[in-house]
């Protein structure tokens, strides 16, 4: 049985976005090892498949899912945005905090793409150009960052039928999305893009070039 930890640990936001790992919470740790490392969860979710052990734990805005396998290893990590990020750190629980690493996590997608986390050529931008539920997803090597549009903005700025081509959709989404969550990437299939066949994909570089073309051609006041 894992020995209980009583020392506060610090995870790195930059490392999570690059690798999907939230060290010291790493892939392969079991449910009991997580409890020994950062204590019991503040809340959990149960369903008929979980009995008798809850397999979805919450530590403030950090959500940890565990596998049905007998030892219940970690199956996925999600970080939901808080009401307000801390300047230097965001606390999940008394024994685990997140170093913000100076990253503009609450800003626009392009700001995160330009923050030196990834090579823009290696990052994939997914765009769901559906006016009923438009979304944007940055997919790096270890993580996926999902952005959505609020109901008022969707009604005010997006056509009820179509966003047009991918360039127009990218410009509109850049202006009006907000962060929905940071997700650990698991395998080749996206866990947050649904329905899969409706998303269009471009590279991070192409996305930034679209925004630059729009800025250079937009009329100035």
Tell me how far apart the alpha carbons of residues 11 and 16 are, in angstroms, rounded to a whole number: 8
Contact indicator for 36, 202 with CB cutoff of 8 Å: no
Which residues lie across from 182 on neighbouring strands? 79, 145
Nearest CA among 155, 163, 115, 168 for reference residue 138: 115
Poorest-confidence range of 11-20, 50-59, 117-126?
Answer: 50-59
Average of per-residue pLDDT across 177-181: 96
Distance set, CA 189 to CA 26, 48, 76, 172, 185 (Å): 20, 26, 14, 26, 9
Question: 37: how many CB neighbours lie within 10 A of its CB?
Answer: 19
Tens digits of residue pLDDT in 150-161: 877 676 666 654
Tens digits of residue pLDDT in 88-109: 999 999 999 999 999 999 999 9
For the chain, percent of residues with pLDDT exceeding 90 = 68
Verdict on whether the full-model pTM lies above 0.95 = no
Regarding predicted confidence, which is higher, 73 or 151? 73
Contact indicator for 37, 2 with CB cutoff of 8 Å: yes
- Residue appearing with tokens 């823009």: 120
- Residue appearing with tokens 């893009």: 193
Structure-block tokens of residue 139: 């997919």
With 70 as the cut, is the pLDDT of residue 50 above it? no
């Amino acid at each position: 049985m894992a020995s209980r930890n009583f020392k506060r640990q610090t995870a790195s936001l930059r490392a999570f976005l690059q690798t999907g790992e939230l060290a010291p919470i790493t892939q392969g740790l079991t449910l009991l090892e997580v409890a020994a490392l950062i204590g019991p969860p503040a809340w959990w979710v149960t369903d008929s498949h979980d009995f008798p052990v809850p397999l979805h734990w919450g530590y403030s805005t950090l959500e940890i899912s565990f596998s049905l396998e007998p030892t219940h290893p970690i199956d996925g990590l999600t970080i939901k945005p808080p009401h307000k990020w801390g300047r230097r750190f965001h606390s999940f629980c008394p024994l685990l905090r997140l170093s913000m690493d100076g990253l503009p996590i609450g800003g626009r997608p392009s700001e995160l793409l330009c923050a030196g986390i990834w090579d823009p050529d290696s990052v994939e931008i997914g765009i769901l150009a559906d006016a009923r539920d438009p979304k944007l997803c940055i997919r790096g090597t270890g993580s996926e960052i999902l952005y959505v549009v609020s109901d008022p903005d969707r009604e005010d700025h997006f056509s009820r039928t179509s966003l047009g081509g991918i360039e127009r959709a990218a410009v509109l989404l850049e202006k009006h999305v907000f962060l929905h969550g940071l997700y650990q990437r698991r395998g080749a299939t996206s866990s947050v893009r649904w329905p899969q066949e409706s998303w269009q994909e471009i590279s991070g570089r192409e996305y930034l070039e679209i925004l630059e073309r729009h800025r250079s051609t937009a009329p100035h006041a």
